[in-house]
């Protein structure tokens, strides 16, 4: 109904105003088509994924920043660099779970799961900005509650990380350097 009505109006306009109107309509159509082509899904706004961004940031600094650096820029310590790359781990369900099952995260003194979810969203979307695949869902309190009871042990961490990093390279086209704790690490 609506389409036919709009088309009918278009025809009347063309008859009334002739070639100039036709040209205008074609131009508008081309513009709309161009806009559609360029409307790729946008990266999530990092500040929309936390209910309390200031709390999430100070939790990170207090509980994690001593080892991982205030901005997630760990190097040159022999620790995984988070800045601009930790978001790759959001790309498969297992690698996503790994982020919550890490001993320091799962056993964090932050017992409130919503607060821990917020802090991990800070880690992934602010420190790791640009590295989470487009369309990545933020962590929720329920997800954190579910995963943190399956904490990894220090025994199997290195092997598990390498297995997941290979997944990210093969399934998500993550850079090969994700296999290393930081780009340029000597194996
Ligand atoms: C005592 C130092 C230390 C603290 C504190 C610490 N981490 Fe870690 N983190 C490490 C080490 C070492 C690794 C490598 C895996 C392992 O041994 O746990 C790691 C691994 C990680 C990884 C995986 C990155 C990758 O590329 O595999 C993430 C994400 C992470 N930590 C986040 C956090 C968060 C969030 C906190 C705060 C709750 C935290 N860490 C606290 C030392 C620390």
Q: What is the CATH number of the domain that holds 70?
A: 1.10.760.10
* Atom 1 of ligand 1, residue of closest alpha carbon: 67
Let me know if residue 69 belongs to a domain. Answer: yes
Domain that holds residue 101: 46-179
Let me know if residue 61 belongs to a domain. Answer: yes
One domain for residues 35 and 50: no
pLDDT tens readout for residues 156-165: 788 999 999 9
One domain for residues 23 and 54: no
Looking from the CA of residue 102, the nearest atom of ligand 1 is 18
Side-chain-side CA neighbours of 11 within 13 Å: the count stands at 6
One domain for residues 22 and 110: no
pLDDT tens readout for residues 29-87: 444 444 445 556 678 888 899 999 999 999 999 899 888 888 888 766 778 889 999 99
One domain for residues 31 and 92: no
Let me know if residue 184 belongs to a domain. Answer: no
Q: Which residues line ligand 1 (CB under 6 A)?
A: 63-64, 66-68, 79-80, 82, 86, 99, 102-105, 108, 123, 154, 157, 161
pLDDT score at 137? 97
Let me know if residue 90 belongs to a domain. Answer: yes
One domain for residues 30 and 64: no
pLDDT tens readout for residues 80-135: 889 999 999 999 999 999 999 999 999 999 999 999 999 999 999 999 999 999 99
H-type helices in 39-82, by residue range?
A: 53-63, 65-68
Give the closest residue to 91 by CA, choosing from 135, 51, 58, 150. Answer: 135
What spacing in Å lies between the alpha carbon of 140 and ligand 1's midpoint?
A: 20
Six-digit token string for 67: 């080892």
How many separate domains does the chain show? 2
Looking from the CA of residue 63, the nearest atom of ligand 1 is 37
One domain for residues 52 and 30: no
One domain for residues 55 and 10: no
Residue 27 predicted with pLDDT over 60:
no
């Amino acid at each position: 109904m609506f389409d036919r009505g709009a088309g009918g109006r278009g025809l009347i306009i063309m008859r009334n105003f002739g070639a100039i109107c036709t040209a205008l309509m074609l131009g508008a159509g081309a513009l709309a088509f161009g806009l559609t082509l360029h409307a790729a899904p946008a990266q999530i706004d990092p500040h929309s994924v936390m209910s309390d961004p200031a709390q999430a940031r100070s939790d990170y600094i207090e509980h994690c920043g001593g080892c991982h650096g205030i901005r997630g820029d760990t190097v040159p310590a022999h620790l995984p660099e988070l800045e601009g790359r930790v978001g790759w781990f959001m790309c498969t369900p297992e690698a996503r779970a790994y982020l919550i099952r890490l001993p320091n995260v799962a056993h964090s003194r932050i017992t409130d799961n919503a607060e821990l979810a917020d802090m991990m969203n800070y880690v992934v979307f602010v420190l790791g900005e640009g590295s989470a695949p487009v369309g990545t869902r933020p962590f929720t309190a329920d997800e954190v509650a579910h995963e943190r009871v399956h904490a990894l042990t220090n025994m199997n961490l290195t092997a598990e990380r390498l297995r997941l990093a290979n997944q990210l390279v093969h399934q998500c086209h993550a850079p090969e350097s994700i296999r290393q704790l930081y780009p340029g690490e000597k194996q």
